[in-house]
Structures are given as C-alpha cells and as structure tokens.
C-alpha cells in the first residue's frame, strides 16, 4: 500500500510538472510567436517600400531607355558619322571628331509690339516644334521710324542641347525640309568660317506638329547649328553625313556668287 501510494504521488507530481512545463512552453511560444508576428509586418512594409522604389527606378530607367532609343540621329552619328570622319580627316584623338554642340532657334515677331496675340501664337508654335519653351527677346532701344519703343517684345529665341537637339535636328532634316515648297536643297555656302551653319525656313508650318487650321499667320524661323568643327570643310562633311540635303556645288548662280566672293580683294581695309 505504501509503495502504491508513493507511485501515485510520483505520477501526480510528474503530471503536474509536465503540465506546468507545457503551459510555460506554450505561453513562451505564444509570446515569441507574437514577437515574430510583429517583426514581419515591419519587414513587409520595408519590402513594399523597397519594391516600390525599385519599381519606380525601373520605370524611370525604362523611360530613359525609350527616350534614348527614340533619338535615331544620335545612333547614326555614333555608328556611321564618327568612323567616316575619322577615316577622312585622320584625327589623332577621338575627342577631336566634330559633333553638333547646340542649336539656336530665333523667330522675329515684328507685330508683337502692336498685337500681343501674335507673340502668344509664336511661342505656342515654337514650343510645339522644338518641345521647349522659348524666351522672349525685347528691343534694346527705341526707333521712331518703326514705331518701336525700348523694352517691347520683338521675337523669341531658345537653345536646344542633348536629346532635344538631336530630336529637333532629325525632324528638321527628314520631315520639315522635304516638305518645303520647291525645295532643291540648302545652300552649302552658309557657313560662318568656324564650322557653324545657319539656315532660314520661310514657313514654320512645314513641321508636322503644326496644324494649318491653327495658323493665324505664316512665320519663318532662323536655325543656327553650332558644331565643334575647326573649319567649314569639317562642318560641311559632318552635316552632310548626318543627312543635311545640300545643293550640288557648282553650276548656276551659286558658282557665280562663289566665284565673286572668292575673287573679292581688299585694299587698305576697303573692298574693291
């Protein structure tokens, strides 16, 4: 009897210890489980934020990649123009190869001093064509013969660089110039002696972005292509390889004017 009572007591003690141990372990696991359940929430939030940042970065990179692929003329310059220029002029350094530095667009609006809507329409059209907002130029002095006062807006101007420059130049060479009325090529003698080329468009509506029904008056624009060429020969070759449709040198009035310009002699600072 004594042995059986002691066995029952030991069994009860063991059961009690087991229950207490299991309850302790279950409470500890529940506590730890709550700790573990709280931590992943923050981790998930951080992961969501990192995922959003990564997604936005990927979207920006994709947009930049799309913009870079759009600039077709830049790819042509790197793949075709650079090797051709290197082969012809034998540059010692790749940084000597000329490239287009910037494009300056000017548009005069003489009636802006009397009509403010003309200036607004010009700014709108230039922004559609170039993709960049222009700056208003104002008169520096008063001229009574032209009914012009000082500080009156007389035109707009802007400077294009980078991707905007290559996009505008590509549309100018392949879309705008071929749509010009009676177009036979641009003048190859319009260089300034330092490799920079200037041409004028009589109508801004030759760009496909301009709708004819929205044009209140035909306006022209002056385009100056600034390059890093050292002379006109390099500038001419650069623009020709990029697709500038120059007229054939020689023949007609061009050869006569070029000959007159070449034979012009200066004597004591005066032209004869």
* One-character DSSP codes across 148-174: B-TT-EEEEEEEE-HHHHHHHHHHIII
Q: Is the dihedral of CA 29, 30, 32, 36 positive or negative?
A: positive
* Mean pLDDT of all residues in 230-241: 94
Given a contact cutoff of 8 angstroms between Cβ atoms, the answer to whether 99 and 194 are in contact is no
Residues with Cβ within 8 Å of residue 75, at least 6 apart in sequence: none
Cβ atoms within 10 Å of 201's Cβ, excluding its own? 20
**138-176: pLDDT as tens digits:** 888 888 887 778 888 888 999 999 999 999 999 999 999
Closest to 195 (Cα-Cα) out of 240, 262, 249: 240
**Count of beta carbons in the 10 Å neighbourhood of residue 23:** 10
pLDDT in tens, 169-216: 999 999 999 988 888 899 999 999 999 999 999 888 889 888 877 777
Mean pLDDT, the chain, integer: 75
Query: Which among 209, 195, 208 is positioned nearest to 244, based on CA atoms?
Result: 195
* pLDDT for residue 1: 43
pTM score > 0.85 for this model? no
**CB half-sphere exposure, 15, CA atoms < 13 A:** 6
pLDDT digit string, tens, across residues 37-59: 444 555 455 555 656 556 566 66
Q: What is the DSSP letter of 176?
A: I
């Amino acid at each position: 009897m004594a042995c059986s009572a002691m066995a029952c007591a030991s069994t009860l003690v063991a059961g009690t210890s087991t229950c207490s141990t299991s309850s302790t372990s279950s409470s500890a696991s529940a506590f730890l489980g709550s700790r573990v359940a709280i931590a992943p929430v923050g981790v998930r939030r951080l992961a969501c934020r990192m995922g959003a940042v990564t997604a936005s970065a990927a979207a920006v990179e994709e947009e930049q990649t799309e913009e870079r692929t759009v600039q077709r003329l830049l790819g042509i310059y790197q793949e075709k123009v650079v090797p051709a220029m290197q082969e012809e002029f034998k540059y010692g350094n790749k940084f000597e190869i000329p490239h287009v530095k910037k494009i300056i667009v000017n548009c005069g609006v003489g009636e802006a001093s009397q009509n403010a809507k003309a200036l607004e329409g010009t700014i709108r059209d230039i922004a559609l064509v170039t993709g960049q907002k222009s700056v208003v130029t104002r008169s520096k002095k008063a001229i009574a013969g032209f009914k012009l006062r000082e500080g009156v807006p007389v035109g707009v101007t802007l400077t294009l660089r980078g991707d905007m420059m290559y996009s505008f130049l590509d549309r100018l060479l392949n879309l705008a110039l071929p749509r010009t009325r009676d177009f036979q090529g641009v003048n190859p003698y319009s260089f300034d002696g330092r490799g920079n080329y200037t041409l004028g468009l009589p109508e801004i509506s030759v760009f496909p972005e301009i709708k004819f029904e929205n044009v209140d008056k035909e306006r022209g624009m002056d385009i100056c292509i600034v390059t890093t060429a050292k002379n006109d020969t390099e500038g001419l070759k650069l623009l020709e390889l990029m697709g500038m449709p120059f007229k054939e040198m020689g023949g007609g009035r061009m050869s006569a004017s070029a000959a007159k310009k070449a034979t012009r002699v200066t004597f004591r600072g005066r032209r004869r």
